[in-house]
Protein backbone atom coordinates (compact mmCIF):
# COMPACT_ATOMS: atom_id res chain seq x y z
CA UNK A 1 0.00 0.00 0.00
CA UNK A 2 1.13 3.53 -0.72
CA UNK A 3 0.49 5.27 2.56
CA UNK A 4 -0.42 8.92 3.04
CA UNK A 5 1.93 10.15 5.78
CA UNK A 6 1.61 13.92 5.83
CA UNK A 7 3.31 14.25 9.19
CA UNK A 8 6.42 12.74 7.71
CA UNK A 9 6.35 14.97 4.65
CA UNK A 10 5.34 12.04 2.42
CA UNK A 11 2.33 13.82 0.96
CA UNK A 12 1.88 17.27 -0.50
CA UNK A 13 -1.22 18.85 -1.99
CA UNK A 14 -0.96 20.65 -5.29
CA UNK A 15 -3.21 23.64 -4.63
CA UNK A 16 -3.53 24.57 -8.29
CA UNK A 17 -4.81 21.16 -9.33
CA UNK A 18 -6.31 19.99 -6.06
CA UNK A 19 -4.62 16.66 -6.56
CA UNK A 20 -2.43 14.60 -4.29
CA UNK A 21 1.24 14.63 -5.20
CA UNK A 22 2.98 11.82 -3.35
CA UNK A 23 6.71 12.34 -3.15
CA UNK A 24 7.48 8.63 -2.79
CA UNK A 25 5.83 6.00 -4.95
CA UNK A 26 7.04 3.26 -2.61
CA UNK A 27 5.75 3.10 0.97
CA UNK A 28 9.04 1.78 2.26
CA UNK A 29 10.64 5.16 1.57
CA UNK A 30 8.99 6.12 4.82
CA UNK A 31 12.16 4.68 6.33
CA UNK A 32 14.30 7.17 4.45
CA UNK A 33 12.11 10.13 5.35
CA UNK A 34 11.95 9.34 9.03
CA UNK A 35 15.61 8.50 9.46
CA UNK A 36 16.73 11.51 7.44
CA UNK A 37 14.85 13.69 9.89
CA UNK A 38 17.11 12.43 12.65
CA UNK A 39 20.25 14.39 13.37
CA UNK A 40 23.10 12.97 11.36
CA UNK A 41 20.84 10.99 8.99
CA UNK A 42 20.43 7.21 8.85
CA UNK A 43 22.75 5.10 10.97
CA UNK A 44 22.35 1.40 10.22
CA UNK A 45 24.26 -1.28 12.05
CA UNK A 46 26.17 -3.72 9.85
CA UNK A 47 23.44 -6.36 10.19
CA UNK A 48 20.61 -3.85 9.61
CA UNK A 49 21.66 -2.23 6.33
CA UNK A 50 21.35 -5.42 4.21
CA UNK A 51 17.83 -5.93 5.56
CA UNK A 52 16.90 -2.34 4.76
CA UNK A 53 18.20 -2.80 1.21
CA UNK A 54 16.21 -6.01 0.76
CA UNK A 55 13.02 -4.34 1.97
CA UNK A 56 13.52 -1.59 -0.62
CA UNK A 57 13.80 -4.28 -3.29
CA UNK A 58 10.73 -6.31 -2.34
CA UNK A 59 8.54 -4.91 -5.10
CA UNK A 60 11.10 -5.97 -7.70
CA UNK A 61 10.77 -9.64 -6.72
CA UNK A 62 8.54 -11.92 -8.83
CA UNK A 63 5.20 -12.60 -7.18
CA UNK A 64 6.09 -16.24 -6.54
CA UNK A 65 9.18 -15.17 -4.56
CA UNK A 66 7.84 -12.19 -2.68
CA UNK A 67 6.02 -14.10 0.06
CA UNK A 68 9.05 -16.19 0.99
CA UNK A 69 11.27 -13.11 0.79
CA UNK A 70 8.95 -11.19 3.11
CA UNK A 71 8.78 -14.03 5.63
CA UNK A 72 12.56 -14.39 5.62
CA UNK A 73 13.00 -10.67 6.27
CA UNK A 74 10.55 -10.75 9.18
CA UNK A 75 12.52 -13.55 10.83
CA UNK A 76 15.82 -11.73 10.24
CA UNK A 77 14.49 -8.50 11.76
CA UNK A 78 13.27 -10.38 14.82
CA UNK A 79 16.74 -11.86 15.29
CA UNK A 80 18.48 -8.47 15.30
CA UNK A 81 20.04 -7.12 18.45
CA UNK A 82 17.94 -4.82 20.59
CA UNK A 83 17.98 -1.63 18.51
CA UNK A 84 15.39 1.13 17.94
CA UNK A 85 15.86 0.54 14.21
CA UNK A 86 14.02 -2.77 14.58
CA UNK A 87 10.71 -0.91 14.84
CA UNK A 88 11.51 1.11 11.73
CA UNK A 89 12.47 -1.97 9.73
CA UNK A 90 9.49 -3.99 10.99
CA UNK A 91 7.05 -1.20 10.16
CA UNK A 92 8.55 -0.71 6.71
CA UNK A 93 8.21 -4.42 6.00
CA UNK A 94 4.64 -4.48 7.31
CA UNK A 95 3.66 -1.61 5.01
CA UNK A 96 4.66 -3.72 1.99
CA UNK A 97 3.63 -7.16 3.24
CA UNK A 98 -0.08 -6.77 2.48
CA UNK A 99 0.28 -6.11 -1.25
CA UNK A 100 -1.25 -9.16 -2.91
CA UNK A 101 -1.57 -12.51 -1.20
CA UNK A 102 1.56 -13.50 0.74
CA UNK A 103 -0.33 -16.07 2.79
CA UNK A 104 -1.39 -16.22 6.43
CA UNK A 105 1.93 -17.62 7.66
CA UNK A 106 3.92 -14.75 6.17
CA UNK A 107 1.58 -12.10 7.54
CA UNK A 108 1.72 -13.70 10.98
CA UNK A 109 5.52 -13.57 10.94
CA UNK A 110 5.44 -9.91 9.93
CA UNK A 111 2.94 -9.01 12.66
CA UNK A 112 4.82 -10.96 15.33
CA UNK A 113 8.04 -9.19 14.37
CA UNK A 114 6.48 -5.73 14.60
CA UNK A 115 4.81 -6.57 17.92
CA UNK A 116 8.05 -7.82 19.42
CA UNK A 117 9.95 -4.75 18.20
CA UNK A 118 7.36 -2.51 19.87
CA UNK A 119 7.72 -4.42 23.13
CA UNK A 120 11.48 -3.88 23.01
CA UNK A 121 11.21 -0.24 21.94
CA UNK A 122 7.79 1.36 22.60
CA UNK A 123 7.14 4.38 20.38
CA UNK A 124 5.79 7.60 21.99
CA UNK A 125 2.29 8.89 21.32
CA UNK A 126 2.12 11.29 18.36
CA UNK A 127 -0.10 14.35 18.66
CA UNK A 128 -2.39 12.62 21.15
CA UNK A 129 -2.99 9.65 18.85
CA UNK A 130 -1.45 6.18 18.53
CA UNK A 131 1.83 6.37 16.64
CA UNK A 132 2.03 4.83 13.19
CA UNK A 133 3.65 1.47 14.11
CA UNK A 134 0.72 0.70 16.43
CA UNK A 135 -1.78 1.65 13.72
CA UNK A 136 0.11 -0.56 11.26
CA UNK A 137 -0.06 -3.50 13.65
CA UNK A 138 -3.73 -2.92 14.44
CA UNK A 139 -4.51 -2.86 10.71
CA UNK A 140 -2.83 -6.25 10.30
CA UNK A 141 -4.94 -7.64 13.13
CA UNK A 142 -8.26 -6.24 11.89
CA UNK A 143 -7.86 -6.58 8.12
CA UNK A 144 -5.50 -9.56 7.78
CA UNK A 145 -6.73 -11.49 10.85
CA UNK A 146 -3.34 -12.18 12.38
CA UNK A 147 -3.06 -13.13 16.05
CA UNK A 148 -1.12 -10.63 18.17
CA UNK A 149 -1.05 -9.98 21.90
CA UNK A 150 0.40 -6.61 22.89
CA UNK A 151 -0.31 -5.04 26.26
CA UNK A 152 0.01 -1.42 25.24
CA UNK A 153 -2.61 1.36 25.48
CA UNK A 154 -1.65 2.77 22.08
CA UNK A 155 -2.30 -0.59 20.43
CA UNK A 156 -5.67 -0.88 22.18
CA UNK A 157 -6.58 2.64 21.04
CA UNK A 158 -5.48 1.84 17.49
CA UNK A 159 -7.80 -1.17 17.42
CA UNK A 160 -10.67 0.96 18.69
CA UNK A 161 -9.96 3.60 16.02
CA UNK A 162 -10.14 1.01 13.24
CA UNK A 163 -13.39 -0.41 14.63
CA UNK A 164 -14.87 3.10 14.80
CA UNK A 165 -13.79 3.76 11.20
CA UNK A 166 -15.63 0.60 10.13
CA UNK A 167 -18.85 1.90 11.70
CA UNK A 168 -18.41 5.27 9.98
CA UNK A 169 -17.83 3.64 6.60
CA UNK A 170 -20.90 1.46 6.97
CA UNK A 171 -23.10 4.45 7.73
CA UNK A 172 -21.64 6.87 5.22
CA UNK A 173 -22.96 7.93 1.84
CA UNK A 174 -21.44 9.90 -1.00
CA UNK A 175 -22.49 11.47 -4.25
CA UNK A 176 -19.84 11.87 -6.94
CA UNK A 177 -19.72 12.34 -10.70
CA UNK A 178 -17.94 10.08 -13.15
CA UNK A 179 -15.86 11.17 -16.13
CA UNK A 180 -19.02 11.63 -18.21
CA UNK A 181 -20.64 13.87 -15.60
CA UNK A 182 -23.10 11.19 -14.49
CA UNK A 183 -23.88 11.37 -10.78
CA UNK A 184 -23.45 8.28 -8.58
CA UNK A 185 -24.77 7.90 -5.04
CA UNK A 186 -23.78 4.98 -2.82
CA UNK A 187 -27.24 4.60 -1.29
CA UNK A 188 -28.71 4.63 -4.76
CA UNK A 189 -26.91 1.34 -5.43
CA UNK A 190 -28.81 -0.58 -2.72
CA UNK A 191 -29.89 -3.93 -4.12
CA UNK A 192 -26.50 -4.45 -5.71
CA UNK A 193 -23.23 -5.78 -4.35
CA UNK A 194 -20.91 -2.78 -4.45
CA UNK A 195 -17.11 -2.65 -4.30
CA UNK A 196 -15.73 0.83 -3.59
CA UNK A 197 -12.06 1.11 -4.54
CA UNK A 198 -9.84 4.10 -3.72
CA UNK A 199 -6.96 4.41 -6.17
CA UNK A 200 -4.77 6.77 -8.23
CA UNK A 201 -2.96 6.58 -11.56
CA UNK A 202 0.45 7.12 -9.90
CA UNK A 203 -0.01 4.21 -7.45
CA UNK A 204 1.75 0.98 -8.58
CA UNK A 205 -0.30 -1.42 -6.39
CA UNK A 206 -3.51 0.26 -7.58
CA UNK A 207 -2.62 -0.27 -11.22
CA UNK A 208 -1.61 -3.86 -10.57
CA UNK A 209 -4.97 -4.88 -9.11
CA UNK A 210 -7.16 -3.07 -11.65
CA UNK A 211 -7.19 -5.83 -14.30
CA UNK A 212 -8.44 -8.34 -11.72
CA UNK A 213 -11.11 -5.90 -10.58
CA UNK A 214 -12.23 -5.36 -14.16
CA UNK A 215 -12.34 -9.13 -14.81
CA UNK A 216 -14.64 -9.59 -11.82
CA UNK A 217 -16.77 -6.63 -12.87
CA UNK A 218 -17.34 -8.18 -16.29
CA UNK A 219 -18.00 -11.59 -14.73
CA UNK A 220 -20.58 -10.51 -12.14
CA UNK A 221 -22.19 -7.28 -13.35
CA UNK A 222 -25.16 -9.18 -14.81
CA UNK A 223 -25.78 -10.49 -11.27
CA UNK A 224 -26.00 -6.98 -9.86
CA UNK A 225 -22.36 -6.26 -9.07
CA UNK A 226 -20.99 -2.73 -9.28
CA UNK A 227 -17.42 -1.52 -8.96
CA UNK A 228 -16.78 2.17 -8.43
CA UNK A 229 -13.23 3.49 -8.46
CA UNK A 230 -12.69 6.76 -6.59
CA UNK A 231 -9.75 9.09 -7.16
CA UNK A 232 -9.02 12.70 -6.21
CA UNK A 233 -6.89 13.29 -9.31
CA UNK A 234 -7.96 15.79 -11.96
CA UNK A 235 -10.31 14.64 -14.72
CA UNK A 236 -7.82 15.02 -17.58
CA UNK A 237 -5.22 12.80 -15.90
CA UNK A 238 -7.79 10.13 -15.15
CA UNK A 239 -9.36 10.32 -18.60
CA UNK A 240 -5.99 9.79 -20.27
CA UNK A 241 -5.31 6.74 -18.12
CA UNK A 242 -8.76 5.22 -18.59
CA UNK A 243 -8.70 6.04 -22.29
CA UNK A 244 -5.77 3.66 -22.66
CA UNK A 245 -8.20 0.83 -21.96
CA UNK A 246 -7.28 -0.01 -18.38
CA UNK A 247 -10.80 -0.54 -16.96
CA UNK A 248 -14.44 -0.59 -17.97
CA UNK A 249 -16.07 0.01 -14.57
CA UNK A 250 -17.04 3.59 -13.60
CA UNK A 251 -14.40 5.94 -12.20
CA UNK A 252 -15.69 8.67 -9.90
CA UNK A 253 -13.93 11.97 -9.27
CA UNK A 254 -13.43 13.13 -5.68
CA UNK A 255 -12.18 16.75 -5.92
CA UNK A 256 -10.17 17.64 -2.84
CA UNK A 257 -10.36 14.09 -1.53
CA UNK A 258 -13.45 14.77 0.59
CA UNK A 259 -14.87 11.25 0.28
CA UNK A 260 -11.44 9.77 0.95
CA UNK A 261 -11.32 11.79 4.16
CA UNK A 262 -14.83 10.64 5.05
CA UNK A 263 -13.70 7.03 4.66
CA UNK A 264 -10.54 7.75 6.68
CA UNK A 265 -8.38 6.19 3.97
CA UNK A 266 -4.76 6.14 5.22
CA UNK A 267 -3.32 5.02 1.88
CA UNK A 268 -4.21 3.36 -1.39
CA UNK A 269 -5.39 1.08 -2.79
CA UNK A 270 -8.15 0.39 -0.31
CA UNK A 271 -11.40 -1.45 -1.06
CA UNK A 272 -14.77 -1.86 0.65
CA UNK A 273 -17.51 -4.36 -0.22
CA UNK A 274 -21.18 -3.66 0.60
CA UNK A 275 -23.87 -6.32 0.33
CA UNK A 276 -27.26 -5.74 -1.28
CA UNK A 277 -28.64 -4.28 1.96
CA UNK A 278 -25.85 -1.75 2.20
CA UNK A 279 -23.97 -3.56 4.97
CA UNK A 280 -20.18 -3.25 4.87
CA UNK A 281 -19.07 -6.91 4.84
CA UNK A 282 -15.42 -6.79 3.75
CA UNK A 283 -12.50 -4.34 3.76
CA UNK A 284 -9.05 -4.57 2.19
CA UNK A 285 -6.21 -2.29 3.24
CA UNK A 286 -4.04 -2.93 0.19
CA UNK A 287 -3.76 -4.48 -3.25
CA UNK A 288 -5.77 -7.69 -3.66
CA UNK A 289 -5.55 -10.55 -6.14
CA UNK A 290 -8.53 -11.92 -8.04
CA UNK A 291 -8.78 -14.80 -5.56
CA UNK A 292 -8.77 -12.44 -2.60
CA UNK A 293 -11.44 -10.24 -4.19
CA UNK A 294 -13.57 -13.35 -4.78
CA UNK A 295 -13.43 -14.18 -1.07
CA UNK A 296 -14.53 -10.63 -0.26
CA UNK A 297 -17.43 -10.83 -2.70
CA UNK A 298 -18.49 -14.18 -1.24
CA UNK A 299 -19.19 -12.41 2.06
CA UNK A 300 -21.76 -10.37 0.17
CA UNK A 301 -23.34 -13.52 -1.26
CA UNK A 302 -21.79 -13.21 -4.71
CA UNK A 303 -20.16 -16.39 -6.04
Domains, the chain, in order of start with CATH, read: 2-166 (no CATH), 175-298 (3.40.30.10)
What's the rounded Cα separation, in Å, for the pair 26 and 1? 8
CB 287, CB 100: distance < 8 Å = yes
Q: How many CA atoms lie within 13 A of 187 on its CB side?
A: 6
Cα–Cα distance measured from residue 281 to residue 274, given in angstroms and rounded to the nearest whole number: 6
Question: Cis link prior to 184 (omega < 30° from 0)?
Answer: no
Distance CA 232, CA 237 (A): 10
3-class DSSP state of 184: strand
Half-sphere exposure of 250 (CA within 13 A, CB side): 22
Q: Is 291 helix (H, G, I), strand (E, B) or coil?
A: helix
**Helix, strand, coil proportions of the chain in percent (round to 5)?**
50, 15, 35
pLDDT surpassing 70 at residue 42:
no
Which pTM was predicted?
0.84
pLDDT value for 28 = 44
Q: Convert the pLDDT of each residue in 156-199 to its tens digit.
A: 999 999 999 999 999 999 999 999 999 999 999 999 999 999 99
At 298 the pLDDT is: 98
- Hey, which residues does 268 pair with through a beta bridge? 2
Residue-wise pLDDT tens digits, 80-135: 988 889 999 999 999 999 999 999 999 999 999 999 999 999 999 989 999 999 99
The contacts of residue 245 (CB under 8 Å, 6+ apart) are none
- Cβ distance 296 to 282 under 8 Å? yes
pLDDT band for 294, please (50, 70, 90 cuts): very high
Of the listed ranges 6-15, 65-74, 156-165, the least confidently predicted one is: 6-15
Amino acid sequence: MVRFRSREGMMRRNNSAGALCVLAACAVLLLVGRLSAQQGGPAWASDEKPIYDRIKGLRALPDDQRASGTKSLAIQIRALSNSPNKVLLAEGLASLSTEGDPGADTLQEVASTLARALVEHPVPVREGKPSEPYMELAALVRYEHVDVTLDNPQFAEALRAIDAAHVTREQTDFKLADLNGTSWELRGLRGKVVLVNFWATWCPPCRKEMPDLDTLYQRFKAQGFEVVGITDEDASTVATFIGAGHVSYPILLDPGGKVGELYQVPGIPMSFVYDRDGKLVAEAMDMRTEGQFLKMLARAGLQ
